[in-house]
Amino acid sequence: MDHDSTDHPKPLRKARRGSQPDLPPQDLPPADLDPATTAAEEDDEARLPESPEEPSDAIAEGPLAVGHAAIENAVRLAPTSPGVYRMLNAAGDVLYVGKAKSVRKRLTSYARANAPLPARILRMIAATVTVEIVSTTTETEALLLEANLIKQLRPRFNVQLRDDKSFPYILITGDHWAPQILKHRGAQTRPGRYFGPFASAGAVNRTITALQRAFLIRSCTDGFFESRTRPCLLYQIRRCSGPCTREIDFPGYSELVREATDFLSGRSHAVKELLAAEMEKASNELEFETAALYRDRLAALSAIQSQQGINPRTVEEADVFAIHQEGGYSCVEVFFFRTGQNWGNRAYFPRAEKSFTPEEVLASFLAQFYDDKPPPKLILLSHDIEECALLADALCVKAGYKVEISVPKRGEKKELVTHALTNAREALGRKLADTATQSRLLEAMAGTLGLPQVPKRIEVYDNSHIQGTNAVGAMIVAGPDGFIKNQYRKFNIKSEGLTPGDDYAMMREVLERRFKRLLKPPEGDAAKVKADDDSFPQWPDLVIIDGGRGQLNAVSEIFAGLGLTQVSLMAVAKGPDRDAGRETLFMPGREAIKLEPRDPVLYFIQRLRDEAHRFVIGSHRKLRKKDIREAGLQEIPGIGPSRKRALLHHFGTLKEIERASIADLGKVPGVSAESARKIFEFFHAQPG
């Protein structure tokens, strides 16, 4: 982001508010996230002026003149009012998105040929051929628009929040007489009460499990609820009060829901006091089983609060942000406090060039973080940021209530920030250690396999099907930071006339679809391509497939047909009896490679292959389950309408039938032992 609260351009501060660029068309080498400065970077900084003492004609005669001319043209038409500007290169890619109180004055600061700008900003100017401007009514609107555009376009010169996965919430539904408790992501359109956000799905699942023990609220779906004729297992183990079969009446269940809502709304102390009083009353009346039930519910509530760690006394609702920088990386640790309880924390590693200060990274991070999330009423920071009041005003406009942003200096709030800062420091330390280990593995792999360079992007491909049905291919991606899961792709096999089980043909379709897209992106798909992280290469250095010499030769022919010569290729064949550690590696034009069973490179290759296998099997099962849901039970041999009705009446849902054992299936009236075996095998067949 670009924050400028005065009428005077501030190019030096502006120069630090971007992210590292890719290689611009003027042969200037890119900045790199790697902590070590490369020789290319040193040479680049030696050639680019960084101080006013350097002759200005060095800029005028170089490719920077083109960028300066483009910006000067934009200055003539730029408004003096607030707005957002975008710098684009010759290919139409957005290089940078910024906002300013006066767009004309801000662009003027870039147009000066002798301005003392850092090398990174000069690279951006050199790559710029067009500037687009959007005027806004206020600077607050400009700030919100800038954050939204950065998240959408991912400009390479901006600080980027790379992980924008939505947060999970707990939902107590409001569209059924017996409300259900469940985990929820996405738009909050279903009637009910939402509690969150929680930092992770694991935190939500643990909390829901404990809440079931404490308040005995159902978690089953409405369809399963309506089909029950007897209580399910959760009732037997005292994690549900059994409203489906009227084991509890409506007023009693409503009271349990009210207690759970009160607990999640911050009135946990009152709820615990009430349960303790009920336990004491039951004990005095010698109703020891009832007293034991209240005791177990109290223990479940205590377990929730003990798992949450810090539970502040003076902070009801707040998000705590702390940033730590080391080795050229930044880590932002976020803690969520709601209703006086700690609902988890998460570490982020925004993409930011090494010259950015913690304050600049944090300011840009916050605007993007709350672009699609409701802010709390209080935000606590570890560092003072510029234009803090402007950001608070923007969040107020967005949320519809007052939002306070502060950097605490003492007291419990300061302790919360200090705790978050400690977690940020530890998370970044682990990140650096993992990155160093991964880098050593990649270097060792390049040496062992004789690759022309250390691979920055590795793609692994695998297929899955059952006798040719529900065929799916998958690609997983790994790099210096480990597995890059937002780059994973699955390919539903679409070829007509494909022979069932023809692995070669399936692999050909997957690879052709993948690399034809890289060779010539389809029309109208540019926005989707731009959604990928520009800091990570789109072309792989190494492609790995699961198979032997035959698969390798087939893929080599595909690559030759596509004209791919710059991508290294390797096939991994399983050992005898699929024995891990005895794999054989095949590469074009070389003898088979056998590594020692304890070789770290072999372990690394096994991890890559196993991750691809895990991902493709999961994709296949999802596709198959979808088909099963659509087809019902008709696809199972020997299962007609009457048996289907009997199965659904007994188990309630198709999901429960899938989970059932052969013995449980055999208990259904009209289902023989042979039919039970067929049903079980249908749902549990292993894909190839």
Amino acid at 597: P
- Contacts of the segment 60-63: beta carbons below 8 A, 24+ positions apart: 60/113, 62/26, 62/126, 63/26, 63/28, 63/126
Domains of the chain: 11-153 (3.40.1440.10), 169-307 (no CATH), 318-429 (3.30.420.10), 458-623 (3.30.420.340), 632-684 (1.10.150.20)
Tens digits of residue pLDDT in 149-195: 888 888 888 888 876 567 888 899 988 899 999 998 888 888 998 88
pTM: 0.62
* Averaged confidence pLDDT in the chain: 77
Task: Reply yes or no on whether the pLDDT at 11 is more than 50.
Answer: no
Q: What is the pLDDT of residues 530-545, one digit of tens each?
A: 434 445 788 899 999 8
Give residue 654's pLDDT band: very low, low, confident or very high (50, 70, 90): low
Structure tokens at 671: 């289902």
What's the Cα-to-Cα distance from 445 to each of 354, 542, 564, 601, rounded to whole Å? 28, 11, 22, 6
Question: What dihedral angle (degrees, nearest 10) is formed by the CA atoms of 110, 75, 158, 53?
Answer: 0
- pLDDT of 381 higher than 90: yes
- Residue 70 CB neighbours (<10 A): 19
* Burial grade of 31 (CB within 10 A; 0-12, 13-18, 19 or more): buried
Instruction: Name residue 137's amino acid.
Output: T
- Residues contacting 676, CB < 8 A, separation 6+: 662, 663, 665, 666, 668
CA atoms of 457 and 439, how far apart (whole Å): 12
Q: What pLDDT sits at residue 10?
A: 39
Query: Is the pLDDT score of 18 beyond 60?
Result: no
Instruction: Identify the pLDDT of residue 580.
Output: 58
Lowest average pLDDT, out of 19-23, 145-149, 301-305, goes to 19-23
21 in helix, strand or coil? coil
3-state secondary structure 75-108: HHHCCCCCEEEEEECCCCCEEEEEEECCHHHHHH
More confident residue, 40 or 608: 608
Residue 525 has pLDDT above 60, yes or no: no
Q: First-to-last CA distance in the chain?
A: 49
| More reliable by pLDDT, 632 or 246 | 246
In which band, very low, low, confident or very high, does the pLDDT at 9 lie, cut at 50, 70 and 90?
Answer: very low
Checking if the pLDDT of 333 tops 90, the result is yes
pLDDT value for 55: 36
Q: How far lies 341's CA from each of 198, 223, 310, 435, 628, in Å?
A: 11, 33, 8, 34, 42
Mean pLDDT (whole number) for 394-408: 89
Are 515 and 540 in contact by the 8 Å Cβ rule? The answer is no
Which two structure tokens, joined as six digits, stand for 358?
Answer: 């913690």
Residue among 491, 611, 447 at smallest CA distance from 544: 611
Q: Note the pLDDT of residue 112.
A: 77
Q: What are the start-end ranges of the E strands in 537-608?
A: 542-546, 568-573, 584-586
Residue that has been written with the tokens 């009041």 in this structure:
389
How far is Cα 58 from Cα 64, in angstroms, rounded to an integer? 9
With beta carbons less than 8 A apart as the criterion, state whether 181 and 260 touch. yes
Q: Where are the beta strands (DSSP E) in 467-581?
A: 469-479, 482-483, 489-492, 542-546, 568-573
**Interval 63-103: pLDDT, tens:** 788 888 888 888 888 888 999 999 998 888 898 899 988 88
3-state secondary structure of 571: strand
Q: Are strands 542-546 and 568-573 parallel, antiparallel or unpaired?
A: parallel
Give the separation between CA 365 and CA 351, rounded to whole angstroms: 10
User: Among candidates 408, 140, 625, 615, which has minimal Cα distance to 607?
Assistant: 615
Q: How many CB atoms lie under 10 A from the CB of residue 651?
A: 19
376, 380, 383, 388: CA torsion to nearest 10: 50
Q: Are 466 and 587 in contact (CB under 8 A)?
A: no
What pLDDT score was predicted for residue 34?
35
Ranges 108-117, 206-215, 411-420, most confident: 411-420
pLDDT at 663 over 90: no
CB atoms within 10 A of CB 298: 17
How many Å apart are CA 567 and CA 144, to the nearest integer?
42
CA 294 to chain centre: 40
| Residue 200: how many other CB atoms lie within 10 Å | 16
Radius of gyration of the chain (CA): 30
CA distance 601 to 440: 10
Q: Which of 10-19, 169-178, 183-192, 323-332 has the lowest mean pLDDT?
A: 10-19
241 within 8 A of 204, measured Cβ to Cβ: no
Say what percent of the chain tops pLDDT 70.
77
